[in-house]
Structure 1
Amino acid sequence: LTAGAEVSVTVKMDKAVKAAIAGIDEKAWTGIRYPQAIFDEDTGTWISKAEVAEVPFTAFTSRKKTERVPGRLVVRRIPELNPQDTDQPTLFDTHRFHAFFTTTDPEVLDTVTADQTHRGHAVIEQVNADLKDSALAHLPSGHFGANGAWLVCAVMAYNLTRTAGTLAAGEFARARTGTIRARLVNLPARIASSARRIRIRLPQAWPWQQGFERLFTAVHPPP
């Protein structure tokens, strides 16, 4: 901040944040639709539209005044899929909230733009989490060159696996690479040879048959 930088930091839902959210006027919420759906890890679903609002907020209020940082609390809310009490719903039973603190001037980034900009951080974080769930779980080694080579291989594997998911379409179009590996790569199949043909025998009523067939047809078209 002293050097003139602005910050945008996700905050945990502590008492102060919840109190600030509860004080937001219902008319202050603005609908927003994302051009690309956002994965909500808490619910395991993809979110394409939500509402955003903001409220003035001061960080580090427990410290002395010179260390307190004034800014804005920007909040995104989405409807709760499984409310706990539909007869007497409360604020935090009917919506899920994701908040972040920013010091950016509202004239530079309004509420909607600030949210979109901050959500851009989540895109790369999602890729990082995906990579850590696969090849990057084996890093680092004691050799810088080996780390660089392994990272290249990890990125290649990620891109190829995501391409496989895109070709399989359906639920795999946006699935994480771990899901694609578990359901389309690690096949519960038996390879059999008959009449000079290689056949893949899969379980009957296998739930991901259509996705695998789309992928197989795209990668191995008929002669």
Structure 2
Amino acid sequence: MLIRFLWVGLMAGLLAGVPTAAIQHFTTTPLIIQAELYEQAEHSDHAALDGPTLLQGGAVIPAGYLLAHGPATEGAADEWAPDEGLERTFYTSIATIITAIGYAFMLLAAMFLAKSEITPRTGLLWGLAGFAAAGLAPSLGLSPELPGAASAGLLSRQIWWITTVVTTACGLWMLLRISTPLAIGIGVVLMVVPHFIGAPHPELLTSEVPSELAAHFASSSLVLHAIIWALAGTFVGFMWQRGETPAEQ
């Protein structure tokens, strides 16, 4: 059973990750590259500025103001990064495939825990629930960001994101699996609380990239997120129904 579990999770992740990586290459990756050009141009314009403030767009930006995906320290520019072209595509695709494999294992484990029937249809439904918890709900407070986008501190964003994912997942579990009136009420509260508290945002909202580019990236990222979760769940069900692994035959 363990070998079958590992085999299904690995193969489902691969089958979901490869097409998602291909779609990503033609959708979000070009947007990121465009945003990096704006970011580099902005840094070049202000490279000579020192001191506790940075003048940007006519406004004084306090020291410590963070740009998502931007260099956090002066030495960040010296950190390794893949070269443009094939090398960058390769590493981005590998990261996407690894992410898909992780999603597949999480969905498979959740279906085991819930003693759910494992079919392509149920896998798709579980995948959509995973997207709702890990993609849709957090995006209501923290939308996908391009390089150069203004953001609050990384730690505060991570805490809010993790809290939102966990509470939304628990809320969906209580709504869809337990489904008693009390459980439904608690589930709704769990899903609403993070948004009632509010996601962390910077005091000054500005960006180095055009708003149209940022909006296009946010919508494209959410669609890709939905695709990878849906494919992971569907292929988990498909691979599980295929039966034995090669090692078990």
Q: TM-score, normalised by structure 2?
A: 0.23
Structure with the larger RCO, 1 or 2 (CA within 8 Å, 6+ apart):
2
Structure with larger Rg: 1
Whichever structure has more strand as a proportion of its residues is: 1
Whichever structure has more helix as a proportion of its residues is: 2
